[in-house]
Structure 1
Amino acid sequence: MAIPERAPAPAAEPAHWLPNFCSWPVLFALIVIGELVALIVVLAASDVSVPSWQSLGVASLFVQWLAALWAVSLCKLRPLLLRLQPWMGEFVAVTLALVATTGLSWLVFVLDQNLRFGLVDASADVVRFVLRNGVICALVVGAVLRYFYVQEQWRANVQAEERARFDALQARIRPHFLFNSMNVIASLIRARPAQAEAAVEDLADLFRAALGRADAQTTLGEELDLARGYLRIEELRLGSRLGLEWDVAALPRDVELPPLLLQPLVENAVYHGIQPLPQGGTVSVLGRVEPAALVIEVRNPCPPPAARRGGGNGIALANIRSRLALHYAGRAALLVEDQAESFVCTLRLPLPG
């Protein structure tokens, strides 16, 4: 069983002080912030009177045009701004917003005074009107840039934590498993050389996956093959004490997913379930496709609670849950049923598209 080499996934974009204003999440956040600013401006200017829908509509149109102009400018100029020092780039970004706000404010004031649209108070002064909008713009733009900067830093911290957790999972390939596997392979070399060669290939595939890039993607078929290879090695070591049941024919093998989601589950099933039982037991890997999800169950018998091994199992499960949360944003889950004589882990992954 050989897992084909896959091109590494592109590294995640590093965090910057300036977000990507060409992305839909940032544009949507900017639209929402702009609408809130328009509502606050209308409410603040209304004093005790009830603001009209017309006033809110005019203010929203003005603010959204400014936000769109600013977003397009930062979207196009982002590569250039990121080459500057952060303080200089922020100064340019704020200056762009101020120039757009003051220019558009002056244009609106002049057109309204000449065409009698009634959008601006007739008694208002152009300098005061433009200055007021400029001050509001400077305060809001400063807050928006700070908000997006904090978001970028949070995203970078989450990704760093995910990489650290994945490195910890990679380091969990237990030394005694390696030594036991090598001893089994050594004992098979003369008597059953074909089995020894197959075990070496399975072991190489397992360590290739464990030592791979944290940001690489794999497929469900490769994860299933990796789990089968691991269980074949354990089957050589445990002999008839380890029974296997596979029912995964319904699963699509080409679905992409983060690596090392399934192998730690079958490893825990053997280490915490089968190995402590003198009579052994059967590890069952069952898969099915539901309307919106792929479901994979790993079942194993386990000793009574008082005789169970402590540590390790909870760490691996928490690790997988954290990686699912990061990659699928709440659309995937790992459910655990810890019963008196059995242990069931259910992995639910969203269907692509």
Structure 2
Amino acid sequence: MLATGVIITESLSEETRRPGALELMVDWKKQLLTEKKPLQTGEEGNFLPDFYRGQGLGDLLLFSFALTVTILLAKTGLTGFDWTLFSLVFLLVVGVALTSALVLSLCEPFLRSTHQIRSAILAIVIVMIIVAMSVLLAQQALVFAMLKDRVDLGVALDMVVLAVIPVGVSLRYFSVKQKMYVEKNAAREAGIQAHQASIRPHFLYNALNVIASLIVSDPEKAERAVEDLSELFRDVMTGSPSLIPLREELSLCRRYIALEKLRLGGRLEIEWQIGDYGEDVKIPSLTLQPVLENAVYHGIQLLHGGGKIEVRIRRTGDWVHIDVQNPRNPRLQHNKGHKMAIKNVRYRLRAHFGPSARVGSKVTGSHYTTHISFPVKVYKL
């Protein structure tokens, strides 16, 4: 059920406030100067995909199929192609490939700790040992079934020699693909961080001017404003997690609105219609705040009498829908700012939730509405 709409008339409650403005500002400055975290993709040191978790298994099966066809065509040609023999050889090749993938995944911590060339050589040696053992076991099975007289070590050696080139090529392929995957993740993360850092400077200037004017007339309110501003910019500047619970984003937005109310006073009202969206919903940090800033900057601020912003949040199945509506003055509009904010939010949502995430806007009479829809499940590259 939707919660009853509430018009904000005051700043933060005591539960959402922080211990002290000075302490927060010092902590913010300290983190900015000392925390220089490199980009983390989670897979920088991986030499190969994580086969154990299913990465690259499709390519592995395709390689196995192509290798089997190549071996049989080289041996029998098109006219003598035997599907029964193909099935047996394909099962052997797939077994070797999957076993190799499992062993390489188990050895992954050690492979990551050594030089890449040494890792590649070791990986090839591991696969060659598995090939030799698989061929010997297959021959032993044929001997046990009385389809072969004895185990021939020469056959195992021949298969090892023949497998060197395709194994080396496939490992090189997976290595290059993994590198491209990591670089794509790093580029995506860099884009997310760049967009996250693009909060408008004019908001900071306006907020500081408001705080300066309150220091003499209302020191307590000025202190609350500094706490709100410190918390807001700590999230922007110190690398907060890319995805945060939606409730934290809403808390941040309430702090932002509290700051704007100090500047606009009774001209700014806001109504929150928040449904039961669930505890598992996460959203990119600072996604909803720029939309609210647009509603203030392009809507409320341009109206002499101000107006009311309406925020509606609901969940339908595995999708979350957010609507932000504000009044507008058709004669005074900063259309470029609207488009930049929409583009910013769309980029960050699609980076996390894939191309199905939607961000759009529409004008209905004297109101402007921004609509955001995204799935609960995070998109995987």
> Same fold by TM (over 0.5)?
yes
Aligned to 2:371: 346
Q: Measure, in 2, the Cα distance between the counterparts of 1:126 and 1:339.
A: 78
Q: Please say if residues 106 and 130 of structure 1, whose CA atoms lie closer than 8 Å, have aligned partners that are also in contact.
A: no
Q: 1:263 to 1:52 in 2, by over 3 A?
A: farther
Report SS of the residue matched to 2:311.
Answer: strand
CA RMSD of aligned residues (A): 3.5
Matched, 1:30 2:54: no
**Aligned ranges for residues 65-84 of structure 1 at < 5 Å?**
65-84=95-114
Given the two structures, how large is their TM-score scaled by the length of structure 1? 0.81
- 1:21 equivalent among 37, 48, 51: 51
After superposition, the Cα gap between the structure-2 partners of 1:288 and 1:170, relative to the gap in structure 1 and judged at 3 Å, is closer
Structure-2 change in CA distance of 1:329 and 1:175 (3 Å): closer
Distance 1:215 1:40 in 2: 49
Hey, what does 1:283 align to over in structure 2? 309
SS in 2 for 1:25: coil
Kept in 2: contact 1:220–1:257 (CA 8 A): yes
Deviations 1:205-239 (A, max 9, x none): 21121123254542111100111111121122223
5+ residue gaps, structure 2: 1-11, 19-23, 25-34
8 Å contact kept, 1:222–1:253: no
Whether 1:152 and 2:182 are equivalent positions in the alignment is no
Aligned 8 A contact 2:357 2:375 in 1: no
What amino acid is the match of 1:78? E
Q: Which residue of 2 aligns with 1:337?
A: 361
- AA in 2 matched with 1:297: D
Q: Which residue of 1 aligns with 2:9?
A: none
Report the CA distance between 1:181 and its aligned residue: 1.0
DSSP 3-state at the match of 2:299: helix
Q: Does 1:247 align with 2:267?
A: no
Partner SS, residue 50 of structure 2: coil
Instruction: Tell me the CA shift for residue 35 of structure 1.
Output: 4.1
Question: For structure 1, which segment, 174-183 or 341-350, has the greater mean C-alpha deviation from structure 2 after superposition?
Answer: 341-350
Are the structure 2 counterparts of residues 138 and 338 from structure 1 closer, same or farther at C-alpha, using a change threshold of 3 Å?
Answer: farther
Summarize the Cα distance change of 1:141–1:250 in structure 2 as closer, same or farther, 3 Å threshold. same
Deviations 1:155-193 (A, max 9, x none): 322333233323323432323211211222232334444
Instruction: Name the counterpart of 1:188.
Output: 214
Equivalent of 1:105 in 115, 132, 135: 135
- What's the counterpart of residue 351 of structure 2? 326
Instruction: Please tell me the residue identity of whatever aligns with 2:363.
Output: Q
Which residue of structure 1 aligns with residue 236 of structure 2?
210
Pair 1:173 & 2:173 matched:
no
8 Å CA contact 2:309, 2:326 repeated in 1 = yes
Q: C-alpha deviations, 1:38-68, integer Å up to 9, x for none?
A: 3554566553348555334312320122012
Residues 159, 141 of structure 1: CA spacing in aligned structure 2 closer, same or farther, 3 A cutoff? same
Shift of 1:106: 4.5
- Measure, in 1, the Cα distance between the counterparts of 2:127 and 2:248: 50
Distance 2:98 2:17 in 1: 48
Q: Deviations over 1:233-283 (max 9, x none)?
A: 112222333331210142335633331121122112222333334444332
Cα distance in 1, alignment partners of residues 67 and 343 from structure 2 = 41
- The structural deviation recorded for 1:309 is 1.8
Task: Count how many residue pairs are aligned between Structure 1 and Structure 2.
Answer: 343
Residue 163 of structure 2 aligns with an amino acid whose one-letter code is C
Q: Identity of aligned pairs, percent?
A: 31
Separation in 2, partners of 1:303, 1:152:
51
Q: 8 Å contact 2:128–2:163 — kept in the other structure?
A: yes
1:274, 1:301 within 8 Å by CA — same for their partners in 2?
A: yes
Instruction: Please give the residue correspondences for 1:128-147 in structure 2 after superposition, counting only pairs within 5 Å.
Output: 131=158, 133-134=159-160, 137-147=163-173
Decide whether the 8 Å contact of 1:281 with 1:300 is kept in 2: yes
Q: Report the Cα distance in structure 1 between the residues aligned to 2:173 and 2:240, rounded to whole angstroms.
A: 28
